[in-house]
Every structure is written in C-alpha cells, then in structure tokens.
Amino acid sequence: MQIRVSINGEKHEADVEPRLLLVHLIREVLRLTGTHIGCDTTHCGACTVLLDGRPVKSCTVFAVQARDREIMTVEGLEQNGKLHPLQEAFMAEHGLQCGYCTPGMLMTGYAFLAKHAAPSEDDIRHAISGNLCRCTGYVNIVKAFQAAAAQLKEGAA
C-alpha cells in the first residue's frame, strides 16, 4: 500500500505491507532509530511516539493507520539546534541511564507537559505509568518532568 506520512514535519511516501507496524516504518523504512522496541504487548512504552500530537505505542499501531497523519519522534524534539527543556532536564537531573526507555519517556512527557503546566508528583507518576524504566527507579525522571514544567512555564510567561 502506498502511504504518505509526515514525520517531524517532513513528508515521506512509502510502499508498505498493510501489516507493517508503525515502529518498523519509523525505524527500518524511514531510518529514525531513536524510537525503540522493548516489548510486543504495549507495556513498556519504549516505542512511544506522537500521532497527531497524541502519544501512541508504535509497536501496536499499523503504519497504514498513520496515513496522512503527523508523526513526531524523539528526533523531532530538538528545534533549530535547541534542545527541548525536557531533554535538558533529563540530562541535568540524571533522568536516564542506559537511554533505552528515554525516547519513549520524552515523548510521553512532551505530550503530557503540553496539557499540564504544573503537574504534581503523583500526576507525573501516573502519566509515565505506561513507560517502564529498569535503570533509574523513576525518581530523577519525575524531577526532570518537574524541572521541565517550570522551565516551560517560564518560557511561556
């Protein structure tokens, strides 16, 4: 099937099998390997991307379902050489170790912070409950979300 998608603002066309998973389109056809695969049951969230601004787990979405839609991946966070505050905060707060879950966490966080300007710790913990991290124990990820929220608020003011 011939599909057109937009990914991080760039338009692409691809001829795909109807069963091709979105994560494989992103990683293997479009060669954006920042989006990772950690399970096949929608539990780990390593493959989280935004589809028309909403976080989805791209291991359980078909590529054809993204037809004519806007995909955003971790590679789209940095704009004009400037990192997103969430990326800066993950580095500053040591919110990552092996880095494998990080892109999924960042994409979940990007969508969450767009809607929640001043989230509580509990809000953040629930927001990332679909993203597993085996390294950090989540403490510093929560801190990174809080720091990024403060930064975004300041930027908006």
Partner 1 sequence: MALRTSPEVSGMGHAMKRKEDPRFIRGKGNYVDDLQLPGMLYLDIVRSPFAHAKITRIDSAKALAVPGVLAVITGETLAQYNLHWMPTLMSDTQMVLPVEKVMYQAQEVAAVLATSRYAAADGAAAVEVQYEALPVVVDPKKALEPGAPVLRTDKKDKKDNHIWHWEWGDRAATDRAIAEADVTVKQDIYIPRVHVASIETCGCVAHFDKVNEKLTVWMTTQAPHAIRTVFALVAGHVGLAEHKIRIISPDIGGGFGGKVPVYPGYVIAVAASVLTGKPVKWIEDRMENLQADSFARDYHISAEPGARKDGTLTALRIKTIADHGYTDAAANPSKFPAGLFHVCTGSYDLKAAHVEVDGVYTNKPPGGIAYRCSFRVTEAVHTIERMADLMAHELGMDPADFRLKNFVKPEQFPYKSALGWEYDSGNYAGALQKAMEQIGYAELKREQADKRARGDLMGIGISSFTEIVGAGPSKHFDILGLKMFDSCEIRIHPTGKAIARFGTKSQGQGHETTYAQILAEELGIPAKDIQIEEGDTDTAPYGLGTYASRSTPTAGAAAAVAARKIQDKARKIAAHLLEAAEGDLVWEPGKFSVKGAPDKSKTIQEIAFAAYTNHPQGMEAGLEAVSYYDPPNLTYPFGSYICVVDIDRGTGEVKVRRFVAIDDCGNIINPMIVQGQIHGGLTMGLAPALYEEISYDEIGNVQGGSFIDYLVPTAVETPKWETGHTVTPSPHHPLGAKGVGESATVGAPAAIANAVVDALWHLGVRHVDIPITPPKVWKLLRDHGVMAE
- Cα 99-103-107 angle, rounded to 5 deg: 150
Strand order in the sheet with 54-57: 10-15, 2-7, 70-72, 48-51, 54-57
Q: Is residue 121 involved in binding partner 1 (CB under 8 A)?
A: yes
Q: Return the residues of window 101-120 that contact partner 1 according to CB under 8 A.
A: 101-103, 106
By rule CB under 8 A, what string of x and - marks binding of each residue 65-94 to partner 1?
--------xxx-xx----x---x--xxx-x
Applying CB under 8 A, among 3, 5, 7, 20 the residue interacting with partner 1 is 20
| List of residues contacting partner 1 (CB under 8 A) | 17, 19-20, 24, 27-28, 31-41, 43-44, 46, 73-75, 77-78, 83, 87, 90-92, 94, 96-103, 106, 121, 124-126, 128-142
